[in-house]
Amino acid sequence: MSGFLNLSWQNLLRHRTRSILTMLGMAASVGVLFSVLSFNQGFNQGLETELERTGLHFMIVPSGCAHEVASLVLHGAVIPKFLDTKVMQHVRSTSGISLATPILVAQLPDPQRGKIDLIYGVDMAALSAIKPGWQIDGKTPTQENEVLLGYEVAQHEKLQPGDTLRTTEDGRTLIVGGIVNLTGSQDDAFVYLPIETAQALLDHPSAATAIGVKVDDPSKMVEIIESLSAAVPGIQIVTMGEVMNSISNLAASAKALSLSIVLIAILISAVGVMNSILMAVFERTQEIGMMRAVGASRFDIFRIILEETTIIALVGGLIGIFLSVLGSRLIETFVRSVVPYVPSGELISFDPKIAAGSVLFIFIIGIAAGVYPAWKAAKINPIEAIKG
């Protein structure tokens, strides 16, 4: 350690408790900054991955709110409108489309259990194309009375493949064919069943909440969308990119708010650092006077004090990042429990760029917080200081 750095370090050790508490203040701020930035990045990546996993290029839904469509795509929101049955015929007759699969999402009450099941009717043959990331215990339903349970539903109802979920009003017995492994997303809360069964249970033959479409050549997607929009009235076509933007826009204000809170926390910590170092400067006035007498320039004094704040900020920053990586699972669990939509997958992971950026930021804040105490120290008149 260089002489100046060692001197600054030793000065901090003189008031160990005060220095540690100040560092912890910095650590908390940097930890939260790192977590929020990591979460924001993880959110965007997770969202992108989740949309890619749908394997679809766009969704056709009844005209309405784009946010509803985003919700439908991502976690099967219930939209109180159905597509006209003719839409499916139009879509299937359009050239350039490799897959068009109707989806029917609805709430289905079960008076016997006193519960409402969230059902997701889909063409089971197209399921692997829509949800390619899924792992299933048991099998994908092949019979009209077979269902696939989301992980949480299976856990909550304590059901295994082969068990009976319920008997419907029209006398069907729905048997559990398989259980989807934990996805960490809202997919875990649904009962998946063949779309024909869902349509029959809702008494809406041929109805669909949405049609998921995959095209042969993505470069021709715009032309296909324009052609479909012109041919079929009363529909809205939303691409996965638009869904991503829609969700991102919804999340943007929350991200901005959380970042603002973090910045305020950092500002408070920086003021704490400034106060702590300023106290140390006042306590060491005579010592600073002595150093000036034995040859220290004003800049030497400025440097010693500035290095003290920089050490506090840097060590605090590194501790904060270390703790936030250690506690990332806890933070993620908490966020998932309070935020309505969070993509599946790991949201807070150690990204060296974010860590380095956070440390650099706090380094700059440390220097900014240290300038005033360092300037005060450099201005100390050695004669008055020595006189005490």
Q: Which residues bind other proteins (CB under 8 A)?
A: 3-4, 6-7, 10-11, 13-14, 286-287, 289-298, 300, 382-383, 386-388
Instruction: Kindly give, in sequence order, each residue whose CB lies less than 8 Å from that of residue 160, ignoring residues fewer than 6 positions away.
Output: 154, 176, 179
- Which CB, 210 or 291, lies closer to other proteins? 291
How far apart are CB 319 and other proteins at their closest, in Å? 22
How far apart are CB 10 and other proteins at their closest, in Å? 4
- Which CB, 10 or 173, lies closer to other proteins? 10
How far apart are CB 6 and other proteins at their closest, in Å? 8
- Which CB, 200 or 290, lies closer to other proteins? 290
How far apart are CB 283 and other proteins at their closest, in Å? 11
- Which CB, 4 or 350, lies closer to other proteins? 4
- Which CB, 72 or 288, lies closer to other proteins? 288
How far apart are CB 388 and other proteins at their closest, in Å? 8
How far apart are CB 294 and other proteins at their closest, in Å? 4
- Which CB, 211 or 374, lies closer to other proteins? 374
